Amino acid sequence: MNGKLYIFGIGGTGSRVIKSLVMLAASGVKIEANAIVPIIVDPDFANADVTRTIEQIKAYTAIRSQLAFNDATKNRFFEVPIENVVNDHRLALKDTKNKKFREFIEFSTMSKENRALASMLFSEANLESDMEVGFKGNPNIGSVVLNQFTDSQDFIDFADAFKPGDRIFIISSIFGGTGASGFPLLLKNLRGLDAKVSNNDAIQHAPIGAITVLPYFAVKTDEESTINSSTFIGKTKAALQYYERNVNGDESSVNVLYYIGDERTKQYENEEGGTEQRNNAHIVELAAAMSIVDFASIQNDDPILVCEENSNGKIYAPNPDFREFGIEKDVQEVLFSNLTQSTRDYLCTPMTQFVLFAKYVNEHLRGATSLQWARDNKFDDAFLKSSFINNIQKFVNSYIEWLEEMSDNDRAFKPFKLSVKSSDLYSIVDGVKPGSIKALWAFNKSGYDLFDAALNEEHSSLSKNFTLPHKFTELFYNVTKLLVGKKYKF
C-alpha cells in the first residue's frame, strides 16, 4: 500500500496487539505502509496494558526521530513511522470518568416506562458498573457507551487527517465487553459516516481489515468480580452469530476479516481493570499483529479491497476475504520451526537480528568503547550517556521482557534461549544449529568476540555524513544481518 494504515485497537487485547506490532516494526519486519497510526479505544485510562503500549510507542518514536531513512540507508530497525493523530494515541470517550452506568444513561431522569425498559435490558449490577474501568465483559453496556465514536474531537481529528489511499484496521476481542461491542459499532460508523464529516467519502470507501480475537486466556474465579471466563465461549458464539448477520454476511462491511484464538488457555489473575490489569504477552497477540502486516501487504489493485455502494446507499465489500492463522504442529512451546514457512520468512531473520542487537546492548556495549569500531565512530562514553542510547536501552529491555512473557505463557512462544551464556551466544535460536563463518576476520572467534570482529570489519563502510545515532543503528543492523545470514538457515 502507498498510504497510511490507521489501526484502531479496542480494549486491552487491542492495546497488547499494537504493542506486538511495535516490537515487530522495531525489529525490521516489513510493514508496507507509509506510516502506521495507532488509535486505542478503551475507557479504562489506568489500564496497565494500555499504559505499557503507549510507553513503547513513545520510546519507538523518540528513537526513530533521530534516524534517517533514504537511498543510502540499509537499516530496517525502526523503519516504519508511527504517527499520532489523537492525544497519546487514545480516542477519548466522553462522560466515562467517575460515573456509574446508571448515571451515564441518566436513569433517574427517565420516565417510568423508560426506566422499566432499561431495567429489562440491564441488570442492577450493570447499572451499578463503574465506567472508568471499562465494561467488564458486558457488551450490552459497551454498545451504549461506545456509540459516541463520531461525536468526539479525536474522531474529527482522525477524519481530518485521513486521505484517499489510506486504510483502516480494527483489532478487538470477541469474548469481553469493550472489543465485542466496539468492533461492529466502529465499523458501522465508518461505513455510514455523516456527510458533514471531513473526508467522509474516502473513509467510507476505504479498505478495512479487522481481526476478531477469540478466547485465548482465562481468569481465575472470583466471586467479587463480574468477569467470569466460563462465559467466554457462550459470549463468543453469540457475538459470532451477530457478526454473521451484521458484519461479514451478505454485503460484508469489512474487506478482510481475520480470526484467531487458542483452545489452550492460561489463567490470569482476575483484575477488572486499572493499574492491576497487566497481562503477559502472548503468541496469539503476536500472530494478530502479523494479520496487520498481512493486510498492509495486499496490493492496491486486489479485488478484495474494492468497495461498492448498493441501491440503499450502503457501502460494502463485494469480494471479502476471511483468513486464519495456524501453526504446523500443536505444541505447547512454539519454536520458529513450528511456524509455517510464510510466517518464518517474515519473522525469523528480523527477530533474530534484533534479539542479538538487544543482547549486545545489554551485556557488552558499555565495555566496547575502546574497540576500533567504536573509537573510529566516536561511540564514546558521552554517546553512551546520550538520550538516544538511553531510549535504545529502555526499548531493548522491553523487547527482551516481551519475549520472556511470551515464553512463559501457555501456549508459549519460545524461539530464543534468552539466558544463553555469552560464549555460546549463537546457540540462542532454539532448535537451529548455528553454522560457522568462513572468513579471515572470523577465524577462531565466538560469542561477542565474533560480534566485535564483524563490527570492526563493517564499520568502515559507514557514510561519514550519517549522524551518530544513524551510524549506530546502521552498523548494528548490517552486522546482525551478516551474522544471522551466515549462522542460521531458516
Task: Examine the domain organization and report whether 300 and 420 are in the same domain.
Answer: no
**What would the pLDDT profile of 17-43 be if each residue is shown by its tens digit?**
999 999 999 999 999 999 999 999 887
pLDDT at position 65 is: 97
pLDDT at position 366 is: 95
Which whole number is the average pLDDT over 210-222? 76
Answer whether 10's CB lies under 8 Å from 182's CB: yes
108 in any annotated domain: no
pLDDT at position 150 is: 75
Q: Which domain holds residue 269?
A: 4-97+132-325
pLDDT at position 96 is: 67
Task: Examine the domain organization and report whether 35 and 138 are in the same domain.
Answer: yes
State whether the Cα torsion 137-143-144-146 is positive or negative: positive
- List all residues 6 or more positions away from 353 whose beta carbon is below 8 Å from its beta carbon: 27, 28, 77, 477, 480, 481, 484
Task: Examine the domain organization and report whether 371 and 240 are in the same domain.
Answer: no
Task: Examine the domain organization and report whether 221 and 369 are in the same domain.
Answer: no
Task: Quote the crossing angle between the two packed helices 468-487 and 387-407, to the nearest 10°.
Answer: 30
Residue 39 one-letter amino acid: I
Looking up residue 315, the CATH number of its domain turns out to be: 3.40.50.1440
Task: Examine the domain organization and report whether 10 and 136 are in the same domain.
Answer: yes
Which of helix, strand or coil describes residue 38? strand
Look at residues 263, 297, 325 and tell me which one is the last residue of a structural domain: 325
72 in any annotated domain: yes
Closest among 440, 414, 410 to 428, alpha carbons compared:
414
127 in any annotated domain: no
Look at residues 272, 293, 325 and tell me which one is the last residue of a structural domain: 325
DSSP classification of residue 431: T
Checking if the pLDDT of 275 tops 90, the result is no
How many other CB atoms are there within 10 angstroms of residue 94's CB atom? 12
Checking if the pLDDT of 271 tops 70, the result is no
Task: Examine the domain organization and report whether 360 and 300 are in the same domain.
Answer: no
Task: Examine the domain organization and report whether 274 and 383 are in the same domain.
Answer: no
Answer whether 19's CB lies under 8 Å from 403's CB: no
390 in any annotated domain: yes
3-state secondary structure 253-266: CCCEEEEECCCCCE
Residue 271 one-letter amino acid: E
Q: 195, exposed or middle or buried, with CB in 10 Å at 0-12, 13-18, 19+?
A: exposed
How many structural domains comprise the chain?
2
113 in any annotated domain: no
Task: Examine the domain organization and report whether 313 and 367 are in the same domain.
Answer: no
Of 407-416, 421-430, 435-444, which gets the smallest average pLDDT?
A: 435-444
Give the mean pLDDT of the chain. Answer: 88
Task: Examine the domain organization and report whether 345 and 321 are in the same domain.
Answer: no
64 in any annotated domain: yes
Grid cell at residue 448:
561477542
pLDDT at position 165 is: 96
Checking if the pLDDT of 273 tops 90, the result is no
For the residues of 86-126, what is the DSSP string, one character each? SGGGB---TT-TT-BHHHHTTGGGS-HHHHHHHHHHS-HHH
Rounded to 5 degrees, what angle do the CA atoms 191, 316, 255 make?
95
408 in any annotated domain: yes
Confidence of residue 256 (pLDDT cuts 50, 70, 90): very high
With residue 490 as reference, give the H or E element that holds it: none
End-to-end CA distance of the chain: 27
pLDDT at position 130 is: 74
Task: Examine the domain organization and report whether 366 and 432 are in the same domain.
Answer: yes
Task: Examine the domain organization and report whether 298 and 365 are in the same domain.
Answer: no
Checking if the pLDDT of 355 tops 70, the result is yes
120 in any annotated domain: no
pLDDT at position 221 is: 58
Look at residues 325, 358, 375 and tell me which one is the last residue of a structural domain: 325
> Which pTM does this prediction carry?
0.90
Confidence of residue 435 (pLDDT cuts 50, 70, 90): very high
Task: Examine the domain organization and report whether 215 and 357 are in the same domain.
Answer: no
